[in-house]
Amino acid sequence: MIAALDQLLGWIPFIHPAPLPPGARLWMFLPLAACVATVYRVTRAKSARELPLATLKTFVTIVAGMCLIAIAAYVIHAGVLHFSEG
Amino acid sequence: MARKNDPLMKMAPAGILAWILPGAGHYFLGQRGLGIVLFVTISFAYGVGLAVGGVKNSVNPRANGWLFLAEMGVGGYTVLGYVVSERLPDYGVKEPSPYVSYYPESDVAQIYLAIGGLLNLLAILDALMRAQTGGAPVFYLEAERSSQPKAEETDQ
């Protein structure tokens, strides 16, 4: 049945992988961080009304932390290259 | 009748519902807003992973057993995905399959699917604890417990 539907439609979401635009891989981090922040805040909330501000704070914290980790990794990488060349 | 009010009696259905459908456990416990937020968030993460990776290799224990284990955090979606995945035809090694994603899409798909499954595991545990506590998150109980000994100390 799926094969017949496939022939009829040509492209079916979830059956055929969707291509990502070039350079999108890095930015795909942001929605994932938002999902993690939301679920984490849900586990600590009494009601949904508490969520927007708390989720935003957690999201910003995650993104800032990941940026700092990326900068630190870049500095270490550049340092290793610099000293290994010298 | 007392057994009906026992919070432990709510744990099993809340846990099973949360495993089958993200947020359903919280919805069952009366936390409807939180349940809807969980459903939208976890379904989004899992759905993006499945859309980018395709169901054929993304939900397949033979292709990636550890990923499948993480995905099983969302039981309903993963079982359904596995059934569909098994019905899709296999292609040979030499010819590229239209059902399989390749690098870099496969990487993004795996991360989204694994995170989606593991986030629902967190949601299941939260639903179980809320069933025990009558709706309050564990965080508040921990805060209450840690403040109790201090109150007793001040009384003495």
- Positive or negative, the Cα torsion across B143, B144, B149, B153? positive
Q: How many CB pairs under 8 A join A and B?
A: 102
DSSP A11-77: --BTTBPPPPPTTHHHHTHHHHHHHHHHHHHHTT-SSGGGHHHHHHHHHHHHHHHHHHHHHHHHHHH
Contacts of A47 in chain B (CB under 8 A): 31, 33-34
ipTM given for this complex: 0.82
With beta carbons under 8 A apart, name residues in chain A contacting B100. Answer: 17
Q: How many domains does chain A have?
A: 1
Q: What pLDDT was estimated at residue B49?
A: 93
Q: Tell me the whole-structure pTM to 2 decimals.
A: 0.83
CB contact under 8 A, A35 and B115: yes
Q: Each residue of B40-58: pLDDT tens digit?
A: 999 999 999 999 988 888 8
Residue A23, domain member (yes or no): yes
Residue B156 C-alpha, separation from nearest chain A C-alpha, in angstroms: 32
pLDDT of residue A31 exceeding 80: yes
B43: nearest CA partner in chain A: A35
Tokens of A47: 């009601």
Residue A61 lies inside a defined structural domain of this protein: yes
Collect the ranges in chain B with pLDDT lower than 50: 1, 156
Domain that holds residue A73: 19-85
Which residues of B are less than 8 Å from A13 in CB distance?
Answer: 51
